[in-house]
């Protein structure tokens, strides 16, 4: 039976993707830093879909996390067909007012750890007849976003890396898909330090994690290089391409100032 490895699987989009893959018959390998969440998710997948589910607990922002997870997966002697790079988070606020150590940790997780996972696992994935990498970015990848400048830049990196690697790997059976969700019903915005006003506005437009996961997995299995879930999010991405960057950045600046925590 083919296995899927999902990072940041304990909650939100990662959890929903894990369950979507389990529903499609994949045995799942779950990675997160919160053991209780992984125990509950593994049991849910076993009971609901009759699949195998194992987990690894650790902080994926640690520089050697990818190596440890790779060694763990190798020790299981399983046939890995899917790698889902979902682990990541955002921070809001003016750049110079943020703790640089926290910014560095976010950049390590969002970019370097994701890259390390691909570099570790892609050679074995390419040995499969058909295999898949699914990277989770954001609609923030399509434009500079004042107030979320570093986070948006990290997701632009994920999108660009995904598209480039999809071309590099296309002669093998390995495809790379990048999903760029907009606001989603997860704990992301609480961790990003938005105020109560911002959280209330986000609730009016967010998608549910299960809907994002369904779209993401479907696009991945169709080997699409890029997907933006939801009509409103597609419109945002299209306008970011169509309108002058200065206009988009000015609008984003006004919107973020209205919702950021003071």
Long-range Cβ contact pairs of 46-50 (< 8 A, separation 24 or more): 48/19, 48/22, 48/23, 49/19, 49/22, 49/23, 49/25
For residue 163, the tally of other CB atoms under 10 A from its CB is: 15
> 76: helix, coil or strand?
helix
Determine which one of 26, 132, 151, 157 is catalytic: 151
Determine which one of 15, 26, 132, 155 is catalytic: 155
CA angle (170 as vertex; 164, 171 as ends), nearest 5: 135
142 among known catalytic residues:
no
For residues 117 and 8, the answer to whether their CB atoms sit within 8 Å is no
Whole-number CA gyration radius for the chain? 18
* Spatial distance between the Cα atoms of 176 and 128, rounded to a whole number of angstroms: 14
CA 60 to chain centre: 13
132 among known catalytic residues:
no
CA 198 to chain centre: 22
- The residues that are catalytic are 151, 155
């Amino acid at each position: 039976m083919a296995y899927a490895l999902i990072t940041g699987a304990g909650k939100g989009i990662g959890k929903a993707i894990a369950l979507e893959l389990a529903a499609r018959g994949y045995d799942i390998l779950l990675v997160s830093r919160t053991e209780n969440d992984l125990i509950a998710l593994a049991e849910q997948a076993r009971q609901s879909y009759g699949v195998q589910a194992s987990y690894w607990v650790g902080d994926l922002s640690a520089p050697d996390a990818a190596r440890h997870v790779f060694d763990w997966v190798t020790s299981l002697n399983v046939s890995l067909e899917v790698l889902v790079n979902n682990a990541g988070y955002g921070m809001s606020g003016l750049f110079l007012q943020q703790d640089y150590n926290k910014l560095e940790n976010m950049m390590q997780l969002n970019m370097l750890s994701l890259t390390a996972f691909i570099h570790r696992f892609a050679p074995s994935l390419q040995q499969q007849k058909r295999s898949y990498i699914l990277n989770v970015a954001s609609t923030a990848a399509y434009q500079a976003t004042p107030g979320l400048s570093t986070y948006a830049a990290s997701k632009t990196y994920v999108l660009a890396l995904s598209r480039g690697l999809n071309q590099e790997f296309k002669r093998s059976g390995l495809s790379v898909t990048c999903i760029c969700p907009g606001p989603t019903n997860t704990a992301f915005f609480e961790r990003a330090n938005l105020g109560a006003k911002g959280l209330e506005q986000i609730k009016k437009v967010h998608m549910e994690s299960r809907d994002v996961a369904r779209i993401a997995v479907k696009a991945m299995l169709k080997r699409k290089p890029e997907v933006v879930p939801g009509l409103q999010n597609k419109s945002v991405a299209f306008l970011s391409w169509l309108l002058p960057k200065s206009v988009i950045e000015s609008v984003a600046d006004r919107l973020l100032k209205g919702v950021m925590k003071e």
